[in-house]
Chain A
Amino acid sequence: MGRRGQRSIVIPFILPAFLVYTLLFIVPTVQALWVSLHDWSGFGQNMVYIGLGNYEEMRRDPIFWGALGRTLLITVVGGVGIFALALFFSAVFQQKIRGKRFFRALIFFPIVVPGIGVGLIWQFIYNNDWGPLSNLLKLLGLGALDKVWLGPDNIITSLTIAIIWTYVGYYMVILSAGIDKIPVTYFEAAKIDGASQWQQFFYITVPMIRDVLVVALILWTIGALKIFDIIVATTFPAPQPSTYTLTVYIWAQAIGGYTPAFRLGYGTAMGVILLILVLIAYGLIRLLSNRVTIEY
């Protein structure tokens, strides 16, 4: 069958998915681009075309840059924390440990809880008056280490810890699934050659799950750039600008916040920037991961 014949067979199979994708992603994206060029409250049809005015305003908006900085901080620091712990637990659970399933389930549990629930749990944990963290420190005689956990100096660190706790189990399961597929013979051969547990982990496990790791990294990056519910729930009812991530700021400007400004046009422009960020992050991760080739 010629190439043209192959094409004619492929097109009918691709077409439904392409139409759905166009309808649910391409069209809204183009619409968002169009809305981002307008000053619009979101009510009625009274859209005022301002060209790149929203993007120009964004360039000079300190709250936007603060929100972007916090988003990237959570993505990078949270990502390092999540993947370090997820790899650690995956390696630990490779061993024969009693109660392995229970501990795996325990670490996985937070991802099952809705983000709002997680936020409220951490709001309780961090409460200085009746929260378990402050009380535990006092009980252990470590009251000097107690801090105003959700105060302006500590809130981003506190939120990042909450985010790591929430997602580490999810990525542990993904990485563990990759590890389980590595042939045991590789580890046996390494043992015979005298490799330590750590050497086996770094020279066999990590390279062998590279593809899984890349997918997990992409998933995390996309998720982290869009993180919203945990932040809003932990700081409920009114997240302060000092805790805004990009999505929270979009929400606050477009529709939400305690004193809503109803600037859907500006909020959409920030949404477009977020989309570009996600695409850049995806591209970067793919680019870096494609450079490495492994041969056995």
Chain B
Amino acid sequence: MKNRIATPTFYLRLCIVLALVLVSATSALTGAKAQRTKIVYYSMFSEGEPLQQVLAQATEDFMAENPDIEVEAVWAGRQNLTQLQSVLAAGDQVDIVDHSDDRVFNAVVVTGLGLPLDDYLETNAYQSDTKWKDTFVASALEIGKSQLDGKTYLIARDDYISAYFYNSAVLQDVDIVPPVTGMSWADFTKMLQAIQEKGIAPLGADGNVSFYNNWYTTYLMLRLAGQEAFREAAYDKTGEQWRAPEFLQAANLLKELQDAKFFQSGFEGSVWPAAQVQWVNGRIGMIFCGAWLPAEMAPQMPPGFKTDMFAFPVIEGGKGNDLVEHWANTYAVLNTTQAADAAVLYLKYMMSPKVVEAIVKIGTPVPIIGAPVPAGLENQYKILDASEAIPARAGLNTEIPEYMNNVFNVCTDKFFQLQNGPEEFIECLATSSEIYWASK
């Protein structure tokens, strides 16, 4: 048998073949990478949430339709903006984030990290001849606009108003059908009395949530004094503007509700979602809340439970009787993105009819013209049509969140939770505002 010995020529050929394989493999890889654009979406949802499942499926579908774009969705949960702080500090890629408009505004727009989307809104919606901006209800576009420079940074995905949500069976029992808008304060309190006489707490509240408590003080003040006066009082460095008679009158109206014991017993220490559970169980007539309430409570609703909504009552002589809060969970594109077109295309897809229908199916309202409306929220857009939409807490949550947390909510909580009376509430607002603004 001939002994075959490898020659130098053999090694040379082997090296050339290996080098060619290596080069072709590398170029194939880099070629594939160059063709595929990657975008990273830091989501406010955690895996398993109903809306996360819809968005995850839609993301898969988007990538199937657009094979040149890869979307990495990070299901970071409600603390996604906190994670954004460290992710950005580490220099990692993030192209899209989402959360409530006030949070995204403060995290992305105020800090100069937002990409203006006005030019993109002028282009066509996903696989449509309609301009993207024309697919949104008008007030939803307003939500996305920055007061700082008038540009649009946020795209509203699911939008909400605040209103009274009532247990339809309870109101049928007292034979009252509340009007969707324009119910007078007198009729409102009469309705509450009628419910109370049936042995049911007319109003429900989870007093441990400041954000919910301050709906009462904010709406009453907005109704009576109007938006401008309310905002001016908050920005007044002396705090004196809170002493205007309309604000005290507003506080007195809330005191009327408390004194009449319209709220459920122990509401001041009720921890969310205790009152909401009582509401679906027929022990509370109605709750003032955001329009997420029906979807949030759907798993606990007994069979046949029906709910509907009406706007906060109007007060005779008030200057802001047509105001309604309207806000949204929104997307924003970061201006550090290397793939703005791909990111916007993804957002257009996520707001396209197919995805929007899937979102509505799980009970979430969307601000898209012609989109179906979830059960129980039919009146949301009727209220919006009949009202002037304003941001949450007249925009103060977005503009001066610290003031709202540390002054307005602190004073409201003490008053709402029965520790203070109306005069003390006003005094608290005036003095705390002065202290707060002096420290800035």
Q: Which residues of A contact B (CB under 8 A)?
A: 41-44, 46, 57, 60-63, 123, 126-129, 148-155, 234-238, 240-242, 252-253, 255-264
Sorted nearest first, the 6 A-B pairs with minimum C-beta distance are A151-B269, A148-B269, A261-B402, A42-B85, A43-B111, A150-B269
Q: A61-B439, A148-B266, A152-B413 are in contact. Are A260 and B103 (CB under 8 A)?
A: yes
B438 is an interface residue with CB less than 8 A from chain A? yes
Residues of A within 8 A of B402 (CB): 253, 261, 263
B401 is an interface residue with CB less than 8 A from chain A? yes
B147 is an interface residue with CB less than 8 A from chain A? no
Task: Describe B's contact surface by its main secondary structure.
Answer: helix
- Taken together as a complex, chains A and B put the C-alpha atoms of A60 and B440 apart, in Å, by 11
Residues of B within 8 A of A237 (CB): 209, 272
**CB < 8 Å neighbour of B268 from A41, A57, A152, A256:** A152
Residues of A within 8 A of B209 (CB): 237-238, 258
**23 A-B contact pairs sorted by A residue (CB < 8 Å):** A43-B107, A43-B111, A44-B111, A60-B438, A62-B432, A128-B266, A128-B270, A148-B266, A148-B269, A150-B270, A151-B269, A151-B417, A154-B269, A235-B208, A238-B208, A241-B405, A255-B85, A256-B79, A257-B405, A258-B209, A259-B102, A260-B106, A262-B111
- Taken together as a complex, chains A and B put the C-alpha atoms of A43 and B88 apart, in Å, by 7
- Taken together as a complex, chains A and B put the C-alpha atoms of A73 and B405 apart, in Å, by 23
Complex interface residues of chain B between 193 and 226 (CB less than 8 A to chain A): 207-211
Residues of A within 8 A of B439 (CB): 57, 60-61
Residues of B within 8 A of A255 (CB): 79, 81-82, 85
Contact A259 B112 (CB under 8 A): no
Contact B211 A258 (CB under 8 A): yes
Residues of B within 8 A of A41 (CB): 106-107, 110-111
Q: Which residues of B contact A (CB under 8 A)?
A: 79, 81-82, 84-85, 88, 102-103, 106-108, 110-113, 207-211, 265-266, 268-272, 274, 278, 397, 401-402, 404-406, 409-410, 413-414, 417, 419, 432, 435, 438-439
Residues of B within 8 A of A63 (CB): 406, 410
- Taken together as a complex, chains A and B put the C-alpha atoms of A255 and B79 apart, in Å, by 8
Q: Name B438's closest neighbour in chain A (CB-CB).
A: A60
Residues of B within 8 A of A42 (CB): 85
A149-B269, A238-B208 given; name 20 further pairs at CB < 8 Å: A43-B84, A43-B108, A44-B112, A60-B435, A61-B406, A129-B274, A148-B269, A150-B269, A150-B271, A151-B417, A152-B413, A237-B209, A240-B208, A241-B406, A252-B405, A257-B405, A258-B405, A259-B405, A260-B106, A262-B107
Contact B404 A260 (CB under 8 A): no
- Taken together as a complex, chains A and B put the C-alpha atoms of A154 and B435 apart, in Å, by 27
- Taken together as a complex, chains A and B put the C-alpha atoms of A259 and B211 apart, in Å, by 8
